[in-house]
Amino acid sequence: MSNERKTVAVLGAGTMGSGIATVMARAGHRTILFDVNEANLERGLGTVRSFFDRSVSLGKLAAVDAEAAKATLVGATDLKELAASDVLVEAVFEDLSLKKDLFGQLDDIVAETTLFHTNTSTLSVTGIASGSRRPERVVGTHYCNPAPLMKLVEVADGRHTASWAHDATVEFLAGLGKTSVVTKDRPGFIVNRFLIPWENSCIDALENGLATRDEIDAAVKGSLGHPMGPFQLLDIVGMDIHQQVATRLYEQLRDPRFFPPPMVERMVAAGDLGRKTGRGFYTYDDTRLFGS
């Protein structure tokens, strides 16, 4: 099954959706990128295409393979166009009722055996699955940003996920060249579950004067083998995103380690969101991320 060509619909043409659509097209699946907003959709399709073009210019992909991947990709703004999908990957805005509503509508459009994947990072898979009349086919598949470059996918079953859906999901992800880890439907899965308190404690250490920004970044890299320091990473993630994820996890867990320290709110209020605004913990002349 993993080598079989499938029809995969990716819902939501934002950063994660277009990244996931890139993965699907690269793996040879017939890929439909869906967004209700025509302009968002065009931007997302452009992101996917330019990723392939850049891969060619960097010598990482043969031109013929890039053309083949681009040829498998189509856009859609009407859910009815997703009827032939074998797999749906939901990557829309992190709003529970929006995601539930989408899965409910898709129940009437796609086949009964179509897998429903949600790329939620902070909501409950079970909660999202409750929007479908067939929650047994809903599986959490959490990709990392940027999805085309990051191998990891966290797989989390909801309370009603069937073993056939879980097993088919793990096999499908292996066919994409991804490494899946199996975790529980708990807030933050594995990576955010540990990253958020870690980043918060580093921000606390800075705010409490334990050491300077540069010292903390250097010490974490120089003693723990992390590829970048906590403040370098936060500047890439974006302080607004960190604040949102941390707050959502705190709301579910009520554990103060997840609550964003006061410095986060001040930085967001000041517009110092990180690399994308040119200033976060550090200042940047180039606001592009990942060379995009």
From 53, 65, 81, 215, residue interacting with other proteins (rule: CB under 8 A) = 215
Is the Cβ–Cβ distance between 186 and 193 less than 8 Å?
yes
CB of 30 or CB of 242, closer to other proteins: 242
CB of 44 or CB of 261, closer to other proteins: 261
Q: Which of 29, 117, 142, 242 is catalytic?
A: 142
Which of the residues 120 through 159 are near other proteins (CB under 8 A)? 144, 150-152, 154
Structure tokens at 15: 């950063």
Cβ neighbours for 150, distance < 8 A, ≥ 6 positions apart: 143, 144
Check if 67 is active-site.
no
Is residue 191 at the binding interface for other proteins, with CB under 8 A as the rule?
yes
- Asked, as a colleague might, if the bond just before 146 is cis with ω within 30 of 0, I would say yes
Residue identified by tokens 């859910």 is: 79
Structure tokens at 8: 């995969």
| Pattern 229-248, other proteins, x by CB under 8 A | ----x---------------
Check if 142 is active-site.
yes
Q: Which of 18, 85, 119, 121 is catalytic?
A: 121
Is residue 289 at the binding interface for other proteins, with CB under 8 A as the rule?
no
Q: Which of 124, 130, 192, 200 is catalytic?
A: 192
Dmax of the chain from CA atoms? 58
Q: Are strands 30-34 and 73-76 parallel, antiparallel or unpaired?
A: parallel
Is residue 228 at the binding interface for other proteins, with CB under 8 A as the rule?
yes
Cβ neighbours for 268, distance < 8 A, ≥ 6 positions apart: 239, 240, 243
Residues annotated as catalytic are 121, 142, 154, 192
